[in-house]
Structure 1
């Protein structure tokens, strides 16, 4: 029998421990979260209290839970883009089975202990990391944090937040600034909370989605291709067509059937540092808001306008449809935070510097402009 291993994750005052009978699961959690959240090994024998994810490779436990769920009334829902069979009993225990992933879930103690039983290592590690992150998020939201739909970098402790809809340039803005010495805090979302006179920010660890065209414009395409050709891997949620395109040297954007959604490169958080040489930030305080837009015919500049924060700039339950709270972790709190927390954050954000900026397709000119703008703020 394998020796159990444990990794503890901590962000602000929220923490969760991942315990497993295979080191693959805890190594994955430490790698995935360690660059942005505090992740460290703890003796498995010392794990006795606090939020806990137990994730074991256990074929029999999976089979038994699968049979249990199918034998009683259950719902068919979707979780992480996969079918989930979900049952609840009179004690409040929630049991779920994902046949496609080969994962069984059991949530007890009002969501403070989630047990996962898996048939294979990688799906189990992915599922355990998902649940651990959702438990951290739930704890932070209950503690008054909220989530913004923004990219972010930090310079000298001051966070610059970039807002905008898909294609507006917020990821481009963050990555260009990170390539010029700023610390990358977030690719798509960031935790925020009013603490005294500051608006504190924390990262939301996740695989970063970067289009092939943007990767090429940033000068990172060949770095990724060389790494893949050497046998290294990107995040497993990446579509195989994207991997094939990289290995073949194709740089034009790839689109899902129907052409509405671009298929992108999925980068592990730690690969920003190990592959791209970017430094990651573990926190800071919000100082400036940028609202970029892309106009190929313009030169990079501060633009006129009165763009202000809107409802779409906050994450909410309706924007979290990939990971709905099927396991009772959030205790009824909206996926983006309480109304009071959101209102408090919105007031503080409104008082910060706002700049609308226009970028074009000249990566060097964009980077020069953004670096100077950030230095002057």
Structure 2
């Protein structure tokens, strides 16, 4: 049995186990850059266990087939699940995966036919187990990017989809800040009134346009050409385009952009971006991206909105099929404290060098 304990900077943890090393090693790589990953021999606390096991997959699938299951989309694939007392059994037929969550023993079992699929699912669900602990302890999940200075002072970036949260984070990170979050961040008001923040570990999706603007396409192509692999959720068309030196965006027939997908550790080793494990909110940026606009600072009337929080009404990628998460909490205190932080609006274009200058000015204003 191989096991690794995944823990946040403030001690919330889950243990990932398997009969072999692949699944725990995957979790260690996925989480270790933002949280901590420590090999252990004692199996304690909530556990996510993952293995390739076709016999167990068939058995769990038979359990779901014996009921009229509920259906949702989870991480981009259909999931069918049933609840029995303290247990939830689920399958994702197209992914070749089955799950069983035992709430009494706090054990989530994942089996499948493909080791990569099992390891990917185990990492996702391990993060959900930790999310449940954090939410129960008063943390919220914000739809925000975040970068942190050497003193831990963190600039959050809020905005609607396409506003420029990712562009802001990567531009500031390339300019010397440490990246704490690309798309989601945990936040909580502590006893002193400080808004503490923790990262949400994930693969980083960077569009071709931004990757080109940051002058990182060739670096990525060289790494791939040398035989290194990017995150397996990346579409093969993206890999082929990167190897060919492509710089133009790729799109699905649905209109969704296909983006390069980086492991968290590749942000450091490939892209020379420093990562942060925690911080405290010092200000909020509200960007807008307009292709042909002159980047500049602007007045902003937008504040923190309901859509800036991920909860059971806004979570569309990882719905709580297993009943892991606690009831929705009242984040009035957090919203009020965020509203008191300095804020700055800005317009950005697709000229990254000019954006960097305007972002530097924006951050300087928040620090006054």
* Equivalent position of 1:113 in the other structure: 107
For the pair 1:8 / 2:2, whether they are aligned, the reply is no
Structure 1, gaps ≥5 residues long = none
Q: Residue 68 of structure 1: CA displacement?
A: 2.7
For the pair 1:22 / 2:20, whether they are aligned, the reply is yes
1:298–1:98 distance in 2 versus 1, CA, 3 Å:
closer
Alignment partners' CA distance in 2, 1:81 and 1:169:
23
Match of 2:260 among 223, 246, 265: 265
* Equivalent position of 1:98 in the other structure: 92
Equivalent residues in 2 for 1:204-283, closer than 5 Å: 204-259=200-255, 261-283=256-278
User: Secondary structure at 1:326's aligned position in 2?
Assistant: coil
User: Secondary structure at 2:198's aligned position in 1?
Assistant: strand
Q: Structure 1 stretch 288-297 or stretch 122-131: which is displaced more?
A: 288-297
Alignment partners' CA distance in 2, 1:214 and 1:182:
17
Q: Residue 99 of structure 1: CA displacement?
A: 1.9
- Give the TM-score normalised by the residue count of structure 2: 0.94
Q: Residue 212 of structure 1: CA displacement?
A: 0.5
Contact 2:144/2:184 (8 A) holds in 1: yes
Q: Residue 121 of structure 1: CA displacement?
A: 0.7
User: Secondary structure at 2:334's aligned position in 1?
Assistant: helix
Alignment partners' CA distance in 2, 1:171 and 1:68:
42
Q: Residue 227 of structure 1: CA displacement?
A: 1.2
Q: Residue 265 of structure 1: CA displacement?
A: 1.3
* Equivalent position of 1:192 in the other structure: 187
Alignment partners' CA distance in 2, 1:211 and 1:69:
38
Contact 1:105/1:114 (8 A) holds in 2: yes
Equivalent residues in 2 for 1:81-96, closer than 5 Å: 81-89=76-84, 91-96=85-90
Alignment partners' CA distance in 2, 1:217 and 1:79:
32
User: Secondary structure at 1:279's aligned position in 2?
Assistant: coil
1:351–1:77 distance in 2 versus 1, CA, 3 Å:
closer
Extract structure 1 runs of 4+ deviating beyond 4 A.
Answer: none
CA deviation map 1:205-242 (0-9, x unaligned) = 11111110110001111111111111212111112222
User: Secondary structure at 1:250's aligned position in 2?
Assistant: coil
1:171–1:76 distance in 2 versus 1, CA, 3 Å:
closer
Match of 2:279 among 281, 284, 287: 284
- Give the TM-score normalised by the residue count of structure 1: 0.92
For these two proteins, the number of residue pairs brought into alignment is 363
For the pair 1:174 / 2:197, whether they are aligned, the reply is no
